[in-house]
Chain A
């Protein structure tokens, strides 16, 4: 394969991968953030202590976390078809990716939020704040650096999953590597695809680290 042949394929593959990762990350935040916060709030001794809700959420998250992604993806095909209308292509891949990423991110959110000093929560209560105040003005802002670090980890995991989605026709760089690199023995193409994935992952990690560092530095800065 010549570079001229590879280039358009790589461009489309990269766009598809970013598309899948972008949307799944969006849903991971949308679903994972509230679930992670709820896991903390409903825990024993928490402000919304509720054993049943807490246990149910915990079990659901654990199932989502323990299922190998490739199996989950296949198992979800009927559901994906029901939601998107097809089980092939980048849009279809977003469904299992999002469902896999939500519990992943939820656990990281839980850990991050749990680390916030309980004294701060009490201070907010003592001021007359309620649960919303505690979550929006104390827990999330205080946990922000850890949340961003967790999000970085999630995005990178989703990039990995998205390449796996190629195995069932998800599109993106994973499909390219499989169909051209593996099945047609185009070693160069395989290497280039892997290189592009490495660049994307590195960029995400650097961006995430930079954001965390900026916030931490600001909090240590003089006015």
Chain B
């Protein structure tokens, strides 16, 4: 539904060049929720703004629903008519909602319909339907200043859906909201994605967002996509940074001559009593250093960090047993950065 190839954006200011996007290629399947995660300054915002050409990429192409948008002329408000029409079919929601304080809630939702040239009565009918869909029908005549952050974002979503888009772009839409409101807005996005078959591309710096709604995810760093894929596949991929960041499990080895093992459970293996079997069949004492169970991409997933007595080479049999059970097994501290450090990196950025 959305494909970018070799997307590059270079900003020039006072002779200096800043590369915000460096050959980004993403592919979003129709009907999926695709999350791009990264720190501030990683280029996520530039990426999403290049999708509807609010920013014109320096090079590369953007194709949405089979249409090459980069081939259409214009930038910003100078966009030529074909690009403006294409934008009408792409909804967008923003971190700070961007609602007009001069219009009522209903008036805000009607704005894109005015741009589309709908008649007064049809606009009102459609706006009220959309507000009903996001659960704000009784606030139609209120002004945005009277709404809470979560309600404002719901209005933003209703407005974004006015043009019956196939694609919704979400630019840090929950970053200004508290955790509970974030969950309810994400639930709404997920429902819309399922009910309307809406394809959603969202950018965020919050791992929880990816965990709770995304089917696929991409990790972005310094203008590049460093890892991407279907979330449940990533979890089964040894060495996946996204998997580690989605399910960080803490705890270091309690001493020398110990083996720390990270296990990822997914699919059927999540239901089996693997640890107790390991303990019984191999007669080892297993200590659990950290563990997390959650659903990601609609599937039950767990990660656990355990410690076995003895050095890694002495535990070959035990590790082999775990692998046979269909688990993803990794030995941290062997060339890859520990999940603790990675988690801190991601939470540090805040805004």
Chain A residues in the interface with B (C-beta under 8 A):
47-48, 117, 119-131, 133-134, 137-138, 141-142, 144, 218-223
Contact indicator B84/A138 (Cβ below 8 Å): no
User: Beyond A128-B84, A130-B84, is A122–B54 a contact (Cβ under 8 Å)?
Assistant: yes
Chain A positions within 8 Å of B27 at CB level: none
The contact sample of 19 A-B pairs, CB cut-off 8 A, is A47-B76, A48-B77, A48-B78, A119-B94, A124-B111, A126-B90, A126-B92, A127-B162, A128-B84, A130-B84, A141-B103, A142-B101, A218-B143, A219-B101, A221-B143, A222-B146, A223-B104, A223-B141, A223-B146
Task: List residues of chain B with CB within 8 A of the CB of A138.
Answer: 100
Kindly state the separation between the CA atoms of A134 and B102 in the bound complex, as whole angstroms: 13
B residues near A125, Cβ cutoff 8 Å: 54, 76-77, 79, 87
Minimum Cβ distance to chain B for residue A53 (Å): 14
A142 and B100 contact, CB distance less than 8 A: yes
**Is there a chain A Cβ closer than 8 Å to B142's Cβ?**
yes
Chain B residues whose CB sits within 8 angstroms of the CB of A222 once the complex forms: 142-143, 146
B163 touches A128 (CB 8 A): yes
**Which residue of chain A has its CB nearest to the CB of B162?**
A127
Alpha-carbon distance A3/B163, docked complex (angstroms): 68
User: Are A137 and B114 in contact, with the CB atoms below 8 A?
Assistant: yes
Chain B residues with CB under 8 A of A122 = 54, 94, 98
Chain B interfacial positions (CB closer than 8 Å to A): 52, 54, 76-79, 84-88, 90, 92, 94, 96, 98, 100-105, 111-112, 114-116, 139-143, 145-146, 159, 162-163, 169
- When distances are taken between beta carbons in the complex, the residues of chain A under 8 Å from B84 are 128-130
> In terms of DSSP, what is the predominant structure of the interface of chain A?
helix
B contact residues around A117 at 8 Å (CB): 98
Residues of A within 8 Å of B169, CB to CB, are: 126
B142 and A219 form a contact (CB under 8 A)? no
Contact B143 A128 (CB under 8 A): no
What would 4 more interface pairs be, CB under 8 Å, given A127-B112, A223-B142?
A: A126-B54, A126-B169, A141-B103, A219-B101
Which listed residue (B54, B85, B92, B102) contacts A219, Cβ 8 A? Answer: B102
Distance (Å) between the CB of A215 and the closest chain B CB? 8
- Indicate if the CB atoms of B78 and A126 lie closer than 8 Å: no
The answer to whether B87 and A127 have CB atoms under 8 Å apart is yes
CB distance from B44 to the nearest CB of A (A): 16
Bound-complex Cα distance A124 to B143 (A): 18
CA distance A125 to B90 in the complex (A): 11
Cα A171 to Cα B101 in complex, Å, equals 44
Top 3 closest pairs, chain A to chain B, by CB: A223-B141, A223-B142, A47-B77
Min Cβ gap A130→B in Å is 6
Give the distance in Å from the alpha carbon of A120 to the alpha carbon of B144 in the complex. Answer: 13
Nearest CB in chain A: distance from B111 CB, A? 6
By a CB distance below 8 angstroms, the chain A residues around B98 are 117, 119-120, 122-123
In the bound assembly, the distance between CA atoms of A122 and B49 in angstroms comes to 10
A140 to chain B, nearest CB (A): 9
B92:A223 contact, CB within 8 angstroms: no
Q: Which residues of B contact A137 (CB under 8 A)?
A: 100, 111, 114
B100–A127 contact, CB under 8 A? no
**Least distance between B12 CB and chain A CB atoms (Å):** 13
Are B100's CB and A120's CB within 8 A? Answer: yes
| A138 CA / B111 CA spacing, docked (Å) | 10
Tell me the minimal C-beta distance from B132 to chain A in angstroms: 15
**Which residue of B has the minimal Cβ distance to A120?**
B98
In the complex, residue of chain A having the shortest beta-carbon distance to the beta carbon of B146: A222
A137 CA to B117 CA, complexed, in Å: 13
A220–B76 contact, CB under 8 A? no
CB distance from B200 to the nearest CB of A (A): 15
Chain A, Cβ-Cβ closest to B53: A125
Which residues of chain A are within 8 angstroms of B101 by Cβ–Cβ distance? 142, 219
Chain A nearest CB: distance from B62 CB in Å? 14
A127 surroundings in chain B (CB, below 8 A): 87-88, 92, 111-112, 115, 159, 162-163
